[in-house]
Chains A and B, each alone.
Chain A
Amino acid sequence: MLLIPCPWCGPRNQIEFTYGGDATVQRPGNDAPEAAWEAFVYMRDNPSGPHDELWLHSAGCRSWFKLRRDTRTHDILGSARMGDELGGESP
């Protein structure tokens, strides 16, 4: 079970969290072409190594935040509040 550092609450058990997907995809502007929206909705990389993800502290403070996790090892490399940048090793 992962030990996830919520940027507001500190380290907590994985069971308190909900996974929210890839944090690197950018929501297109409202008037972006259909192709941009299709890419946003359907296309995801499957990186091997550090990956920035969104997580929700659903059974805690109910904050969404960013987490950098190594998909090969489950090592957690850092977390950041929304609006802040993840530090450390870049993906």
Chain B
Amino acid sequence: MTQPHRLPEGGIIDRTRALRFEFDGVQHEGYAGDTLASALLANGVHLVGRSFKYHRPRGIFSAGAEEPNALVQLSPASGARTEPNVKATMQALYDGLIAASQNCWPSVHFDVGAINNVMSCLMPAGFYYKTFMWPPTPKWWLKYEHVIRHAAGMGRAALAPDPDHYEHQYAHCDVLVVGGGLTGLAAAHTAAKAGARVILCDESAAWGGGVGDIGATIDDRPVDRWIADTVRDCARFDDITLLPRTTAFGYYDGNLVGAIERVTDHLSEPPAHTPRQRLWKIRAKSVVLASGAIERGIAYANNDLPGTMLAGAARTYARRYGVRPGTRAVVFTNNDSAYLTALDLHDAGVAIAAVIDARPASQLTRGLHQHARASGLAILPDSAIIGARGGRRVASVDVATLAGGRSTRVDCDLVCVSGGWNPAVHLFSQARGKLRYDEPLATFVPDISPLPILPAGAANGCFDPTAAVMEGRAAGAAAIPGAGMMASPHHSPRTNGVDGTALQPLWAVPATRRTAKRFVDLQNDVTVDDIALAAREGYVSVEHLKRYTTLGMGTDQGKTSNIIGLALMAEQLDLPIPKVGTTTFRPPYTPVTLGAFPGHETAAHVEPTRYSAMHDWHQEHGARFVNAGLWKRPHSYPRPGETEDDAANREARNVRTHVGLVDVSTLGKIELQGRDVAELLNRVYINKWDTLALGRCRYGVMLRDDGLVMDDGTTSRLSATHYLMTTTTVNAVRVMQQLEYLLQAEWRNLDVYATSVTEQWAAAALSGPKAREVLAKVMDIDVSNGAFPFLAVATCHVRTAQGLVPARAFRMSYSGELAYEIHVPADHGRAMWEAIIKAGDDAGIMPYGTEAMSTLRIEKGHVVIGPEADGRTTADDLGMGKLVNPAKWCIGKPLLARPALTAPDRWQLVGLTALDGARMPRAAKIVANPDHALPNPMLGHVTSWCYSPNLDAWIALALLANGRARHGEVLWALSPLANVRVRVKVGPPCFIDPEGARLRV
């Protein structure tokens, strides 16, 4: 609990606020302001995990979002809140934090999976593909899978539902500044000062950004003062939003930037009613990309031992977190930035065993190098680490000159490595920005983008703090609306503000022993040899290289490794690096919690739920509900002791013998008004409409342009220029959209206004031989057969407990019985429903649900859009060919005569009755001979089926080849999946009252 590696002073941590935490069962202490990684290092913990493939011990490699190694399982014992693959370098420490290493068993110190390391010759790049492509049977994969999945884990997902919630936030701004380092602060300050609406976000909790600026002087102020002053000044502007702990992870169309704010992840106890994370969708007029740069390493043998760290990270831990990451360090570099690490570690009391520089002595004569020498640091020019030694921590390195020759062993417990810096161009690239290979930096830098995104500072390849601030100000000014988005300069000084020399590219140190592993991608265990193997085997395109070796495919997406892999491939192919190119940068920049994407739209809130005005009544009367699109509809109303099937059969029987009431509010309802409604109807329905009299309604069928059936329904004429169209529940939106399209785009001269009123009207259908006597009790009009015949329509009133309610009555029937539809304004729906139920008491009225409704319509052979009209059927297939009026044009008609739509073997609607007392199989295919050799020729299929309580038989509707000519034939309905075969008799698609006499009584 003593934090033995903590420096007595310095850094952004608060030494007065100690925080307790637990890692792998051991209690430690850190300070407020620590990350989990800095707190672990303060306690001397370097070994934090095992690698993905070889299970090699791994330590903390970086100090930021690029971390490939230090992935931990957070809150491992919490069933619901445990989270895998959390970067220790990004996780803010809080009191009571519990974390565990992952990908190791039984422990990080003794890991059984490490046998893979010994066996690694059997697991080359692409070994999945090679091993499991042969023998060609999935059985082998099934044998291996369990073992491999267990060995190659990446932490455990929570098994319990996520107890946290996530929020979405839309935002708009003139200038979005991504990154709150010196560059970003300068850009945001400049833009906000000029009056622009600014959003500034940074992935970390503290402003000030990366490591490059430590110790710098800006505007004659120490950099920490400058940062504090600038943040304070920014906060004073009216129209600026500062978002710390917020990662801009993706750049999308229309300058939409996705950002994830970690609202409570840094707190031990999240406050109630606060989202854990907030997903920002920011529409920015322009974006300043000040996302900094990411350091890369150099591949040498065993460069993955714990205690190996990027040089900038070591400096960050020493200067920002007041932690000594080792006691005796070796610095290995090909550029000047690592000298700053060496000097800072030296100042912090870390012994610097050597600075190993790949560059020749003749280049190491500038001020920075002199300064290092003057501080007593030993510089070994023209040298490299050829290998590291150690078990669970680096113990020494072997150093040799790049020319070869004898190596020297240097003892150390920390290796700080720098192979150069890569601008974080991810968002720039996502914004279709082109990258340019910069030879002096040996990396890709932003070139041009067609979109308003301005890279600046280290993200633009500018590493000098003073110059970066200037670039930030220039970008902030250029990004203001109307400023013209002048591209920022690309030729800034790049020497860390110190007197130094250029980088010398060094990607991998030549191997001295064949078996030693030189890692390129630490997270996926991809080595220099794997890349050479991929090249030999022909996987030379970067996209193939990535997928074959898994280079850059981990949760870090190769932030520290991709460029090394590309450079090594370029070497293999003897091509310049820009010719090899880069893989595509895709969102997200860092992993985003899945829960943040749906936000609050989960469970019941995935989609809206639509309820009819009578829903509560249904619920109070025992209805079981079924989903119909977004609607909840009563399926049936089971009584005590009844199954749903019993209830539906009782309800269907009662409609034929007495009377029933069904909620049909979900039908699409479209009001059509204007002088040309009849003409519109003539054009969209197959039948004739200009003859429809006032106060009458008619059934119609609509086709698509290709001639196939789209929808059906009725349209009523309420006045000379006022019609009401009904559509099926499923097609209500589609039909409305189609009418709007036709009226607005194609037939703009038609005087018709279409308004959807589905929600505004509640509707019920009253069916059965006693329907009229019930209706007469509640309506204020004469409903006798003479006054209100079949297909009559009336505007009238219903007598309800609420008094007289305006209504529309329609004499139409879906059940095949004497039936009426009553529509009332939705607010009166329940009163109307209750009035009819009460009035029907003596007549034996029962409510019925969709299941009984379906049985009734199958008995009558009424088709449904979907099962029967399945997008392949014509009106003629459904037996409605005669409805197509030969004397007029309508949509779909020009293509109706095509040979395929008039062929004699088309599948036509028929009725089937199951023979031998059998139950009709579901979704069966129809064949002539069930014992025919496979494949058995299919004559058609069952589209709808039910037990008919009125016929006491299993019946079905079916589409059958040339079906109308097959009435009377006996065929077989086959369900191979259920292993059922049933003899069926073919007949007309109507089982009850084929003449329709009951409709007209």
Contacts and interface: CB of A to CB of B under 8 A. Distances in A.
B894 A2 contact: no
A81 B187 CA distance: 40
Contact of B744 (A30, A31, A40, A64): A64
B744 A82 contact: yes
Contact of A30 (B283, B889, B897): B889
Interface string B428-464: 0000100000000000000000100000000000000
B450 A18 contact: no
B895 A37 contact: yes
Given A34-B894, A56-B740, A73-B432, A40 B254 contact: no
A32 interface: yes
Nearest to A74: B253
Contacts of A32: 894
B889 A83 contact: no
A27 B746 contact: yes
B252 A1 contact: yes
A20 B254 CA distance: 20
Contact of A3 (B256, B705, B737): B256
A54 B894 contact: no
B914 to A, nearest CB: 40
Contacts of B895: 34, 37-38, 41
Pick the most buried of B253, B281, B706: most chain A CB atoms within 10 A of its CB.
B253
A31 B894 CA distance: 8
A58 interface: yes
A62 interface: yes
A76 B451 CA distance: 12
B252 A82 contact: no
A3 B285 CA distance: 12
Interface residues of A, number: 29
Given A56-B740, A64-B740, A82 B898 contact: no
Contact of B737 (A31, A38, A56, A75): A56
B705 A64 contact: no
Contacts of B744: 63-64, 82
A20 B934 CA distance: 43
B611 interface: no
B705 A41 contact: yes
Contacts of B140: none
Interface in A1-28: 1-3, 14, 18, 20, 27-28
B254 A82 contact: no
B737 A58 contact: yes
B748 interface: yes
Contacts of B110: none
B689 to A, nearest CB: 16
B254 A1 contact: yes
B257 to A, nearest CB: 11
A62 B894 contact: no
Interface string B223-263: 00000000000000000000000000000111110000000
B745 interface: yes
Contacts of A62: 740
B205 to A, nearest CB: 29
B741 interface: yes
Given A1-B256, A2-B253, A40 B745 contact: no
A34 B897 contact: yes
Nearest to B898: A34
Interface in B770-788: none
Given A1-B252, A32-B894, A82 B748 contact: yes
A40 B256 contact: no
Contacts of A14: 253-254
Interface in A34-83: 34, 37-38, 40-42, 54, 56, 58, 62-64, 73-76, 82-83
A15 to B, nearest CB: 11
A57 to B, nearest CB: 10
A32 B705 CA distance: 13
Contacts of A63: 744
Contacts of A40: 705
A56 B738 CA distance: 10
Pick the most buried of B741, B748, B889: most chain A CB atoms within 10 A of its CB.
B741
Contacts of B889: 30-31
Contact of A20 (B255, B741, B894): B741
Contacts of A74: 253-254
A45 to B, nearest CB: 18
Contacts of B255: 3
Nearest to A56: B737
A82 B894 CA distance: 25
B256 A83 contact: no
B737 A83 contact: no
A27 B83 CA distance: 56
Contacts of A76: 254
Interface in B265-315: 281, 283
A41 to B, nearest CB: 5
A30 B253 CA distance: 40
Interface string B738-761: 001100111010000000000000
Contacts of B254: 1-3, 14, 74, 76
A56 B450 contact: no
Interface in B877-910: 889, 894-895, 897-898
A31 to B, nearest CB: 8
Contact of B283 (A3, A31, A41, A83): A3
B99 to A, nearest CB: 36
B737 A18 contact: yes
Pick the most buried of B254, B255, B748: most chain A CB atoms within 10 A of its CB.
B254
A60 to B, nearest CB: 12
Contacts of A30: 889, 894
B432 A64 contact: no
B706 A41 contact: yes
Contact of B894 (A37, A56, A64): A37
A38 to B, nearest CB: 7
Nearest to B744: A64
B741 A64 contact: yes
Nearest to B683: A30
A37 B894 CA distance: 7
Contacts of B253: 1-3, 14, 74
A18 B737 CA distance: 10
A40 B705 CA distance: 9
A58 to B, nearest CB: 7
A37 B744 CA distance: 21
A38 B898 CA distance: 10
Contacts of B897: 34
Nearest to B897: A34
Contacts of A73: 432, 450
B745 A64 contact: yes
A27 to B, nearest CB: 6
Nearest to B895: A37
Contacts of B450: 73, 75
A56 B256 contact: no
Interface in B692-712: 705-706
Nearest to A28: B894
A30 B897 CA distance: 14
A54 B254 CA distance: 19
A34 B897 CA distance: 9
A73 to B, nearest CB: 7
Contacts of B252: 1
A42 B705 CA distance: 10
Nearest to A62: B740
Contacts of A3: 253-256, 283
24 contacts: A1-B253, A1-B254, A2-B253, A3-B254, A14-B253, A18-B737, A20-B741, A28-B894, A30-B889, A34-B894, A34-B895, A34-B898, A41-B705, A41-B706, A41-B895, A42-B706, A54-B741, A56-B741, A62-B740, A64-B740, A74-B254, A75-B450, A76-B254, A82-B745
Top 7 nearest A-B pairs by Cβ distance? A3-B254, A30-B889, A37-B894, A64-B744, A74-B253, A41-B705, A2-B253
Given A31-B889, A56-B741, 5 more contacts: A1-B253, A3-B283, A42-B706, A62-B740, A82-B744
